[in-house]
């Protein structure tokens, strides 16, 4: 069966809880590459791309360098740092409800699942594996590597779906925990499920105009009904 709908999952605080391991790894990588521990105090990171956070940190810390010239070194240091944080913490924890929801979605031939995330691909996939999830089931994806802003990513995932299946998806649904997930869905003419497993509660997420707002992803049956219609 050719899938009809494309369901895209954010990673952090949607699939899994890293307890800000990415921020810790940013700080460690800043020391390794620039000799400066990046500080993100009062900086709204949630829902942004890794590439945006990195470039912003280089600018705010007045390092006097072109961030683009050092991005590969930073990505490598960030990956090593993230692996160390995950090892120290015994891995990451999958968010409530995500395992049974993914199991059901994998059985539904009319649904293709993928990722739409602010993570760079290498470290985003690592986070998924460190939470005991199988990253290979997400085959239609858009990462921070694929755009300058989160709003760029829905079209990337939609084009990949069409390349895989020869036809565009009937519906695209973005599942995420921040207002930026809802915004990027709207910008990409997609629908949205906002889940309050991150720093934003259901009231704040309802204000975004998300199509569905839930406390977590445990109501499998009702979510499946929405995602498969």
Compute the average pLDDT of residues 103-130: 97
Higher confidence at residue 54 or residue 46? 54
Nearby residues of 53 by Cβ (< 8 Å), 6 or more positions away = 26, 40, 43, 45, 118
The model's pLDDT over 53-90, given as tens digits with 9 standing for 90+, comes to 999 899 888 888 888 899 999 999 999 999 999 999 99
**pLDDT digits 0-9 by tens, 194-225:** 999 999 999 999 999 999 999 999 999 999 99
Of 63, 20, 65, nearest to 199 by C-alpha is 20
Whether residue 117 is predicted with pLDDT greater than 90 in this model: the reply is: yes
Check residue 44 and give its pLDDT: 80
Q: How confident is the model at residue 40 (pLDDT cuts 50, 70, 90)?
A: confident
How high is the mean pLDDT of the chain?
95
Which of 165, 119, 113, 158 minimizes the C-alpha distance to 139? 113
Query: Does residue 143 contact residue 123 with C-beta atoms inside 8 Å?
Result: no
**Neighbour tally for 166: CB within 10 Å:** 8
Which of 101, 228, 213, 210 lies closest to 169, judged by CA? Answer: 228
């Amino acid at each position: 069966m050719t899938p009809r709908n494309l369901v895209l999952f954010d990673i952090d605080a949607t699939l899994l809880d890293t307890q800000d391991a990415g921020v810790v790894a940013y700080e460690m990588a800043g020391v390794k590459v620039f000799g400066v521990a990046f500080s993100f105090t009062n900086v709204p990171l949630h829902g942004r791309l890794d590439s945006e956070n990195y470039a912003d940190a280089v600018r705010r810390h007045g390092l006097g360098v072109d961030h683009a010239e050092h991005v590969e070194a930073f990505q490598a240091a960030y990956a090593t740092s993230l692996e160390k944080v995950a090892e120290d913490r015994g891995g990451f924890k999958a968010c409530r409800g995500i395992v049974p929801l993914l199991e059901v979605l994998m059985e539904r031939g009319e649904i293709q699942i993928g990722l739409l995330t602010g993570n760079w691909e290498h470290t985003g996939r690592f986070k998924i594996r460190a939470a005991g999830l199988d990253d290979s089931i997400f085959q239609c994806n858009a990462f921070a590597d694929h755009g300058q802003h989160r709003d760029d990513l829905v079209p990337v995932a939609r084009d990949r779906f069409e390349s895989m299946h020869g036809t565009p998806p009937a519906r695209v649904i973005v599942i995420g925990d921040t207002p930026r997930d809802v915004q990027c869905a709207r910008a990409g003419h997609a629908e949205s499920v906002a889940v309050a497993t991150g720093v934003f509660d259901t009231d704040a997420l309802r204000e975004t105009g998300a199509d569905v707002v839930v406390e977590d992803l445990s109501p499998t049956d009702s979510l499946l009904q929405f995602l498969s219609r």
